[in-house]
């Protein structure tokens, strides 16, 4: 499980979040939504222990699989070495990775579809390929909590589709808690059980996706009228989707 209990965070006189409480148990996935500057990343950092709290406490295991928006290194690393870094917390300060750690790293790369990159240099990969490697590094931690900061932000539509499909596969066994931030409500509808909306000038809204992602709530969140529509997917099944009111309109 991961979450926050009665947490308040201030930057000077500015209150970012106030007495916020929610939790994500094993077997559930949570999408945190909101425009830029509304506190999504701050909330994520608070859950991870990267952000000081003015009040309240974080609820988290000792090891969390974390996928940042991007990663850069001062030295050039091969992909397998980047994923092996996910084993660091389990190895301790002085132990070197052994055959079991490399096996875990390769299994994580295989699960994300990135095993073919294991000998490539991380900085030579595309943005989508790097995200797959960073996700493999998070899986290699062995944690049953996975936290992703806007994992689809820099991806084209095809890579967004691949990432969401992969998150759906990771969610399916219901053996881990998954938390991710996003700007797109459709990502939440696709792979989240619950949603946390960082509402403007109000307490965040938290609850099941089907209850929280309403057109009224989304309009208040983004300042744009929204519509919920049913679309037939490639599987022939109707899926719920969110469209802004300007979708399909053409300026005069």
Burial (CB count <10 Å: 0-12, 13-18, 19+), residue 11: exposed
Alpha carbon 139 to its chain's center: 13
**pTM of the complete model:** 0.92
The per-residue pLDDT for 251 is: 63
Q: Which residue, among 107, 114, 146, 111, has the nearest Cα to 130 in the 3D structure?
A: 114
Residue range 20-32, pLDDT digits in tens? 999 999 999 999 9
Positions in the chain whose pLDDT score sits under 50: none
Residue 84 is predicted with a pLDDT of 96
The pair of structure tokens assigned to 10 is 């201030």
pLDDT of residue 252: 60
Give the chain's domains with CATH numbers: 1-64+143-217 (3.40.50.300), 75-140 (no CATH)
Closest CA to 205 of 17, 64, 12, 58: 17
Are 97 and 91 contacting, i.e. CB atoms less than 8 angstroms apart?
Answer: yes
């Amino acid at each position: 499980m991961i979450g926050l209990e009665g947490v308040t965070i201030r930057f000077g006189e500015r209150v970012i979040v106030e007495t916020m409480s929610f939790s994500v148990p094993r077997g559930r996935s949570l999408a945190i939504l909101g425009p830029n500057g509304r506190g999504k990343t701050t909330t994520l950092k608070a859950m991870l222990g990267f952000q000081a709290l003015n009040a309240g406490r974080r609820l988290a295991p000792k090891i969390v699989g974390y996928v940042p928006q991007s990663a850069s290194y001062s030295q050039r690393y091969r992909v397998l070495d980047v994923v092996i870094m996910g084993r660091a917390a389990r190895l301790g300060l002085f132990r070197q990775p052994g055959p079991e750690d490399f096996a875990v790293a390769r299994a994580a790369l295989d699960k994300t579809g990135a095993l073919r990159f294991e000998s490539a240099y991380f900085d030579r990969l595309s943005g989508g390929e790097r995200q797959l490697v960073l996700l493999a590094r998070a899986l290699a931690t062995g944690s049953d909590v996975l936290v992703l900061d806007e994992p689809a932000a820099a991806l084209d539509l095809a890579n967004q589709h691949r990432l969401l499909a992969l998150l759906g596969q990771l969610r399916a066994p219901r053996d881990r808690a998954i938390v991710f931030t996003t700007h797109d409500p459709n990502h939440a509808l696709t792979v989240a059980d619950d949603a946390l909306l960082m509402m403007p000038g109000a307490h965040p809204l938290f609850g099941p996706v089907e209850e929280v992602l309403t057109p009224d709530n989304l309009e208040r969140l983004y300042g744009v009228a929204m519509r919920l529509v049913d679309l037939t997917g490639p599987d022939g099944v109707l899926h719920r989707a969110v469209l802004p009111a300007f979708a399909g309109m053409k300026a005069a």
